[in-house]
Protein backbone atom coordinates (compact mmCIF):
# COMPACT_ATOMS: atom_id res chain seq x y z
CA UNK A 1 0.00 0.00 0.00
CA UNK A 2 1.39 3.41 -0.99
CA UNK A 3 1.36 6.35 1.45
CA UNK A 4 -1.49 8.15 -0.35
CA UNK A 5 -3.58 4.98 -0.09
CA UNK A 6 -3.34 4.98 3.72
CA UNK A 7 -6.31 6.41 5.59
CA UNK A 8 -5.63 9.41 7.83
CA UNK A 9 -8.42 8.35 10.20
CA UNK A 10 -6.02 6.74 12.68
CA UNK A 11 -3.02 8.95 11.96
CA UNK A 12 -1.15 9.36 15.26
CA UNK A 13 0.18 12.79 14.24
CA UNK A 14 -3.34 14.02 13.50
CA UNK A 15 -4.68 12.56 16.77
CA UNK A 16 -1.83 14.16 18.74
CA UNK A 17 -2.48 17.53 17.11
CA UNK A 18 -6.14 17.24 18.13
CA UNK A 19 -4.86 17.41 21.73
CA UNK A 20 -1.76 19.64 21.58
CA UNK A 21 -1.84 21.29 18.15
CA UNK A 22 -2.61 24.83 19.23
CA UNK A 23 0.13 27.42 19.86
CA UNK A 24 -1.13 28.34 23.34
CA UNK A 25 -1.39 24.69 24.36
CA UNK A 26 2.26 24.07 23.52
CA UNK A 27 3.31 27.21 25.41
CA UNK A 28 1.33 26.05 28.46
CA UNK A 29 3.12 22.69 28.24
CA UNK A 30 6.48 24.45 27.86
CA UNK A 31 5.81 26.39 31.05
CA UNK A 32 4.49 23.32 32.91
CA UNK A 33 7.67 21.39 32.04
CA UNK A 34 9.63 24.31 33.49
CA UNK A 35 7.73 24.31 36.78
CA UNK A 36 4.80 26.68 36.29
CA UNK A 37 1.79 25.22 38.08
CA UNK A 38 -0.65 27.99 38.87
CA UNK A 39 -3.15 29.79 36.66
CA UNK A 40 -1.70 33.20 37.51
CA UNK A 41 1.79 32.02 36.60
CA UNK A 42 0.69 30.75 33.18
CA UNK A 43 -1.35 33.91 32.61
CA UNK A 44 1.48 36.27 33.55
CA UNK A 45 4.25 34.41 31.69
CA UNK A 46 2.45 33.51 28.45
CA UNK A 47 0.24 36.58 28.26
CA UNK A 48 -2.90 35.02 26.83
CA UNK A 49 -6.42 35.90 27.90
CA UNK A 50 -7.93 34.26 30.97
CA UNK A 51 -10.72 32.75 28.85
CA UNK A 52 -8.30 31.10 26.40
CA UNK A 53 -6.06 29.92 29.24
CA UNK A 54 -9.03 28.42 31.10
CA UNK A 55 -10.17 26.64 27.94
CA UNK A 56 -6.71 25.20 27.18
CA UNK A 57 -6.15 24.06 30.78
CA UNK A 58 -9.58 22.39 30.77
CA UNK A 59 -8.79 20.59 27.49
CA UNK A 60 -5.37 19.42 28.70
CA UNK A 61 -6.89 18.20 31.96
CA UNK A 62 -9.72 16.32 30.24
CA UNK A 63 -7.18 14.75 27.85
CA UNK A 64 -5.17 13.50 30.84
CA UNK A 65 -2.09 15.58 29.98
CA UNK A 66 -2.44 17.70 33.12
CA UNK A 67 -4.05 16.91 36.46
CA UNK A 68 -5.31 19.35 39.04
CA UNK A 69 -4.06 19.38 42.62
CA UNK A 70 -5.88 21.53 45.17
CA UNK A 71 -3.92 24.01 47.27
CA UNK A 72 -4.93 26.73 49.69
CA UNK A 73 -2.96 29.69 50.91
CA UNK A 74 -3.74 30.87 54.47
CA UNK A 75 -6.87 32.99 54.55
CA UNK A 76 -7.69 32.35 50.88
CA UNK A 77 -10.09 30.03 49.07
CA UNK A 78 -8.79 26.74 47.72
CA UNK A 79 -7.52 26.71 44.14
CA UNK A 80 -6.04 24.26 41.67
CA UNK A 81 -2.49 23.80 40.55
CA UNK A 82 -1.84 22.08 37.23
CA UNK A 83 0.70 19.29 37.13
CA UNK A 84 1.91 17.19 34.24
CA UNK A 85 0.84 13.55 34.25
CA UNK A 86 3.00 10.76 32.81
CA UNK A 87 1.14 11.40 29.53
CA UNK A 88 2.11 15.08 29.80
CA UNK A 89 5.77 14.37 30.61
CA UNK A 90 5.91 12.09 27.55
CA UNK A 91 5.51 15.28 25.47
CA UNK A 92 8.81 16.64 26.82
CA UNK A 93 10.88 15.28 23.87
CA UNK A 94 8.43 16.94 21.46
CA UNK A 95 8.92 20.30 23.19
CA UNK A 96 12.68 19.78 23.22
CA UNK A 97 12.65 18.99 19.49
CA UNK A 98 10.56 22.10 18.73
CA UNK A 99 12.95 24.22 20.77
CA UNK A 100 15.96 22.69 19.04
CA UNK A 101 14.42 23.37 15.62
CA UNK A 102 13.46 26.92 16.65
CA UNK A 103 16.97 27.62 17.96
CA UNK A 104 18.40 26.54 14.59
CA UNK A 105 15.89 27.93 12.11
CA UNK A 106 13.39 30.38 13.65
CA UNK A 107 15.56 32.94 15.42
CA UNK A 108 17.11 35.84 13.60
CA UNK A 109 20.90 36.22 13.38
CA UNK A 110 20.76 39.05 15.92
CA UNK A 111 19.74 36.66 18.73
CA UNK A 112 22.75 35.23 20.59
CA UNK A 113 22.77 31.44 20.93
CA UNK A 114 21.88 29.49 22.91
CA UNK A 115 18.67 31.10 24.11
CA UNK A 116 18.20 28.19 26.50
CA UNK A 117 21.28 26.31 27.62
CA UNK A 118 19.96 22.76 28.05
CA UNK A 119 22.67 20.48 29.41
CA UNK A 120 23.00 17.04 30.98
CA UNK A 121 23.11 17.60 34.74
CA UNK A 122 25.76 14.91 35.33
CA UNK A 123 28.35 15.91 32.73
CA UNK A 124 27.32 19.36 31.46
CA UNK A 125 27.18 18.34 27.78
CA UNK A 126 24.49 19.92 25.57
CA UNK A 127 21.30 17.88 25.15
CA UNK A 128 19.95 17.12 21.66
CA UNK A 129 16.82 15.29 20.57
CA UNK A 130 17.50 12.53 18.07
CA UNK A 131 15.65 9.64 16.46
CA UNK A 132 17.47 6.43 17.21
CA UNK A 133 17.33 2.72 16.53
CA UNK A 134 16.16 0.84 19.63
CA UNK A 135 18.51 -2.07 18.92
CA UNK A 136 21.69 -0.20 18.00
CA UNK A 137 21.07 3.06 19.90
CA UNK A 138 22.45 5.04 16.98
CA UNK A 139 21.08 8.32 15.63
CA UNK A 140 19.16 7.99 12.38
CA UNK A 141 18.29 10.30 9.48
CA UNK A 142 15.04 10.08 7.47
CA UNK A 143 16.98 8.16 4.81
CA UNK A 144 17.79 5.45 7.37
CA UNK A 145 14.13 4.76 8.20
CA UNK A 146 11.43 2.70 6.47
CA UNK A 147 7.78 3.50 7.09
CA UNK A 148 5.07 0.98 6.27
CA UNK A 149 1.41 0.87 7.26
CA UNK A 150 0.86 -1.09 10.45
CA UNK A 151 -2.14 -3.07 11.68
CA UNK A 152 -4.02 0.10 12.67
CA UNK A 153 -3.75 1.67 9.22
CA UNK A 154 -6.74 1.41 6.95
CA UNK A 155 -7.04 2.03 3.27
CA UNK A 156 -8.03 5.59 2.31
CA UNK A 157 -11.53 5.84 0.92
CA UNK A 158 -11.74 6.99 -2.67
CA UNK A 159 -13.71 10.18 -3.12
CA UNK A 160 -14.79 11.75 -6.35
CA UNK A 161 -13.20 14.82 -7.85
CA UNK A 162 -9.58 14.00 -6.96
CA UNK A 163 -6.94 16.67 -6.65
Q: What b/e sequence results for 40-75 when a residue is b if at least 16 CB atoms lie within 10 Å of its CB, and e otherwise?
A: eebbeebebeeeebeebbebbbeeebbeeeeeeeee
Phi and psi dihedrals of 111, rounded to 5? -90, 120
> Do 129 and 97 touch, CB atoms closer than 8 A?
yes
Residue 93 to residue 98: CA distance in whole angstroms: 9
Predicted confidence at residue 1, as pLDDT, reads 73
Q: In the prediction, which pLDDT does 3 show?
A: 82
| H or E segment to which residue 82 belongs | strand 79-84
- pLDDT (0 to 100) of residue 163: 42
Per-residue model confidence as pLDDT tens for the chain (163 residues): 788 888 888 899 999 999 999 999 999 999 999 999 999 999 999 999 999 999 999 999 999 999 999 999 999 999 999 999 999 999 999 999 999 999 999 999 999 999 999 999 999 999 999 999 999 989 999 999 999 889 998 888 865 444 4
Question: Other CB atoms closer than 10 Å to residue 122's CB: what's the count?
Answer: 6
* Domain topology for 3-144: Arc Repressor Mutant, subunit A (1.10.10)
- Determine the pLDDT at residue 162: 44
pTM summary value: 0.87
Please count the residues of the chain.
163
Q: Where are the domains of the chain?
A: 3-144
Supply the pLDDT for residue 134.
94
pLDDT of residue 160: 44
Amino acid sequence: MEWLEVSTENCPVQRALDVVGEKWTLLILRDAVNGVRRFDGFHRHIGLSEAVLSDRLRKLTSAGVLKTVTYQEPGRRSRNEYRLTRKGWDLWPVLMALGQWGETYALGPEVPRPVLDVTHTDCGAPVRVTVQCTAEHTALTPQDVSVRPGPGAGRASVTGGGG
